[in-house]
Structure 1
């Protein structure tokens, strides 16, 4: 199914404006690059679609509160319109292993489920993901990732993507709803280029998704972080001690700043404000100076938040070199919070001759399957309905987003993924923006002397 070239419209015929991102600067796709890609892919293996009213749905990557609301919002919209809804278990894990020579091994109840009204009602408030999830990535084979359109016509590099197409053809799927993070977005983009009608719903607790102002699960996650920070604040004040809390945020500081604003941390440090390089000893000195400054006002305690993504900006001699199966630095091997707290304690001992009561802890990962907030339920449900609308109207190759009043907006994949490098665009916290300024204005500051 080809994507319509005319302006997208809602079911009522109203034109859907393109989403505005990054301080209302519209991101225009590189049409010349896309034309080149389509030319290269002219001979690629393409999806052989069907007109059956049957839609597939999957959730890929780490879970996030509100995921079931997306599933419910989409599935109910399709069921009400007379569609059959297939939920694929564990993201792409089973799809990428589909064997076209033995298709009957792909079994209902094991690899997929037909979702009915009883499956998708009364689930929007639930934590977890009813169709489960995994980090299976069909765009990676033997740790080699798709990097350019030529890889998509290479049967060895794209074998898992082709398996996905085979499985969906076998199942008679007209279109696919993809729910996931940036890797899942790239997979949706590749499948779209190979002819599969697909719509993507963005998912990340980190809230760093380009093209949408807030992602579902973010506010639930920072609420749980706030509750934890509240306890650590009480502990710190009661015992005259300090805590260094390491929070999620591989690339950006949205999570750390949001949790710090809500939880009233005395300092919150995200990757954006630290530049391209972070020296652990320099950062320890900065926080040590904060400790000394607070003591002038009789405050011998405090909670400092740091983003885990700071580890990626450490110099080679300070960062771990072990990576996970996705090629990302294993933050758990860095012991960043512990090392930072120890360095601060050492500076304090050297300077004052006394021991500083300072400890570290990691906060955040237990929030991924938490019961979602009302906002995340509403946002997730709206994104799910948006996925239905886009597929119904033939708007394949778009991510579902929202604007003011949660009005549904579309963002073309080409605006989210660099057509030359095939890398997704991230939405960093703008350090000149009001959100960052708010966070900094709420940190501890030396009182102005009259």
Structure 2
């Protein structure tokens, strides 16, 4: 009961500060708008930027593109950065931006700067010692006569957008993550391009495994969820797909027990004359490992660099030992990571269209004065605003994460297409499985 009271109090404080600062900064005709891309790259980023920019240009509204996320402007007004220089700190969009819609990469470049790292609770928003870098950002905007910010980024960027909103600065957010774990939108741009790229690599690994009678343990991106692992695994006919959603009832994963499960599969398939396979694991399994197994390096937002732990290698090494223990033979079980190569590929038609719609949606929300909202889509790409207050935990100020629900059909699909020991597994002479 006490926790519920605390949560209610936190929400009340959140609402109070939001109302108190509302209107502190106002957009008027003739003012400018800025767009910022922050966090990891994602295919379709330039689609968002191009669509957004063209809509503002068509409306005759000056639009600045801030370069390298918040990395520079968080220091505006300090000895590090007294003035903003065009070409170094920002660009001014022209109609030439139409030509980047399908390009790979991020035209604005990006960074993982975290100007809100000292904000831990809603009261900190008004603490001048803790909000100083956020004030620097607002001052940087005002030096360009920018009165509205449009942020493009993942959960950490949404958190920063919410801070600016609570400080009274008109802000609109466009969701971005290849992990597809965003609460409030069914698919995020870059996800399906990443899945397609991972699938192509997995198919190559599968054919290598078939040719050499070996197994690959492939680690895929996905810090908190298995969206990429499951979709890429299904597309490439992986024999097993594992992510945090498969271990929700466990505080820690026992790597040796997992190795036994993998070797059960290997031996069962060998009896069927299938001496090969590809097993997909999400990098987020690191969160289920004991601390002594986890690499300690973190980014500026406090996120562990999951890839440094090499969970695929931990699993592969344990599986090789278990296989030798049972059979007295060595088995090629090879760990590999598919990571950054999925982030900046040329976007699929779906991601280009979705990104373009979200860019248009950011302009639409601006036109309708719907600040403090995230751009989302529903039905056939109809724009839907989602208030920040529905996406943020008012007590922790962290964003909500959307996992793969084990009770829903997407999870059940990956289970139905995985290889299960002791069951009929689409045999009937199907060597493609």
Query: What's the TM-score once normalised by structure 2's chain length?
Result: 0.92
Closer, same or farther in 2 for the Cα pair 1:365/1:232, shift >3 Å?
A: same
Q: Distance in 1 between matches of 2:372 and 2:258?
A: 43
| Aligned positions of 1:304-323 closer than 5 A | 304-323=279-298
Contact 1:64 1:203 in 2 (8 A): yes
Q: Which residue of 2 aligns with 1:217?
A: 190
Match of 1:16 in 2: none
Query: How many Å apart are 1:185 and its aligned residue?
Result: 0.1
Query: Which of 131, 143, 146 is matched with 1:158 structurally?
Result: 131
CA contact (8 A) 1:245 1:362 kept: yes
CA distance, structure 2, for counterparts of residue 98 and residue 49 of structure 1: 21
**Structure 1 residues 285, 419: CA separation in 2 closer, same or farther (over 3 Å shift)?**
same
Runs (4 or more) in structure 1 with deviation over 6 Å come to 41-46, 100-103
The one of 25, 30, 41 equivalent to 1:63 is: 41
Counterpart of 1:342 in structure 2 is: 317
Could you tell me how far apart the structure 2 residues matched to 1:251 and 1:122 are? 35
Q: What is the CA RMSD across the aligned residues, in angstroms? A: 2.0
| Cα pair distance change 1:115/1:288, threshold 3 Å | same
Match of 1:139 in 2: 116
In structure 1, the partner of 2:4 is none
State the distance in 2 between where 1:336 and 1:35 align.
Answer: 42
> How many residue pairs are counted as aligned between the two chains?
415
| Pair 1:121–1:44, CA change in 2 (3 A) | closer
Query: How far apart are 1:181 and its partner, in Å?
Result: 0.4
Q: Which residue in 2 is equivalent to 1:183?
A: 156
**In structure 2, how many angstroms separate the alpha carbons of the residues matched to 1:48 and 1:325?**
28
Paired with 2:114 and 2:326, the residues of 1 have a C-alpha distance of: 51
1:123 aligns to 2:100 (yes or no): yes
The one-character-per-residue Cα deviations of 1:352-371 (angstroms, maximum 9, x if unpaired) are 01111111100131121110
In structure 2, how many angstroms separate the alpha carbons of the residues matched to 1:40 and 1:303? 52
CA separation in 1, counterparts of 2:192 and 2:20?
A: 45
Residues 69-148 of structure 1: matches in 2 within 5 Å?
69-99=47-77, 105-118=83-96, 120-140=97-117, 145-148=118-121
Q: For 1:61 and 1:158, how far apart are their aligned partners in 2?
A: 20
1:232-311 counterparts in 2 under 5 A?
232-275=205-248, 276-311=251-286
- Whether 1:196 aligns to 2:169 is yes
Residue in 1 aligned with 2:3? none
Partners of 1:148 and 1:421 within 8 A in 2: yes
From the superposition, tell whether residues 34 and 270 of structure 1 become closer, same or farther in structure 2 (CA, over 3 Å): same
Partner secondary structure for residue 60 of structure 2: coil
What 5-or-longer segments of structure 2 have no aligned partner?
1-6, 426-433
Q: Does residue 1:405 correspond to 2:383, yes or no?
A: no
**Alignment CA distance shift 1:86-1:374 (3 Å):** same
Contact 2:217 2:336 in 1 (8 A): yes
Gaps of 5+ in 1: 1-29
TM-score, normalised relative to structure 1: 0.88
CA contact (8 A) 1:49 1:172 kept: no
- Secondary structure at the counterpart of residue 49 of structure 1: coil
